[in-house]
Structure formats: C-alpha cells, structure tokens
Amino acid sequence: GAVVSQHPSRVICKSGTSVKIECRSLDFQATTMFWYRQFPKKSLMLMATSNEGSKATYEQGVEKDKFLINHASLTLSTLTVTSAHPEDSSFYICSARDWGQGERNTEAFFGQGTRLTVV
C-alpha cells in the first residue's frame, strides 16, 4: 500500500509554545491530506482537510488560528499547534488520498500518528 510518514511520533512541549507535525506521502502525490485528532479509546475526529496550494478547510468547532495547516507541496502537509495548552494533548493522525488509478484512490492512507503531550 501507499506510504504516509508522520513525524515526530512523540513530542512533549511546554505550555504556551508551538509544535509542528509533518505528514509526508512517500510514494505518491497527495493533493489532499486530512488531519484527525483521536482521544483515548475514542474514534477519529476530522479536524481539517488540507489542500495543496490553497487554504485548509476546517471542521466546525476547530480553531483555525490554533491549528495552522500548511500544504505547500504535493507530498507535505504540516499541522502546527500554536500556543499549546495541556488540553491540546492528544494523538494526531494524518491521512492522504492517492489520486491514482484503481482501488488506491478509494481508501485513505494513514500516517503513524503523533502523540502530543503539553506540560
């Protein structure tokens, strides 16, 4: 299957600082990437849809000034959690769509996730 790499896998930051999470598609071009947040023992909550070369589309209730998304190239999207607070501690997962032919363009390919802890 397609490979999506997310970095870092774990990060601890101090309250008030910002942290950037990267999501890369390694073997395909991803014009669209998605950012999810997963609470403990819960399902995935879509935060925003990241489109290469344009502004991200945020889901209702997600603060776009707090969760900055940049999708500057066809293989890289970044999520920056600004002025992080302990309540932002969570597991963040990115996924990407492969627009190629066949079954690959029906599913989402996920990164490994990032465990963010704000202290």
Give the footprint of another protein on this chain (CB under 8 A).
Answer: 1, 32, 34, 41-44, 46, 49, 57, 91, 93, 95, 97, 103, 106-108, 110-113, 115
Q: Would you say 95 and 36 are in contact if contact means Cβ atoms under 8 Å apart?
A: yes
Residue 8 or 113: which CB sits closer to another protein?
113
CB of residue 77 to another protein, shortest distance in Å: 14
User: Least distance in Å: CB of 83 to another protein?
Assistant: 26
Q: Following CA atoms 45, 49, 68, 2 in sequence, which dihedral angle do they give, to the nearest 10 degrees?
A: 90
Q: Which is nearer to another protein, 15 or 27 (CB)?
A: 27
Q: Kindly state the smallest distance separating residue 38's Cβ from another protein, in Å.
A: 8
Residue 57 vs 117, nearer CB to another protein: 57
Q: How far is the CB of 50 from another protein (least distance, A)?
A: 11
- Burial tier of 42 (Cβ tally within 10 Å: 0-12, 13-18, 19+): exposed
CB-CB contact of 94 with 78 (8 Å)? no
Q: Which is nearer to another protein, 1 or 100 (CB)?
A: 1
d(CA 7, CA 55): 22
- Backbone torsion region of residue 68, taken as left when φ is above 0, otherwise alpha when ψ lies between -120 and 50, otherwise beta: beta
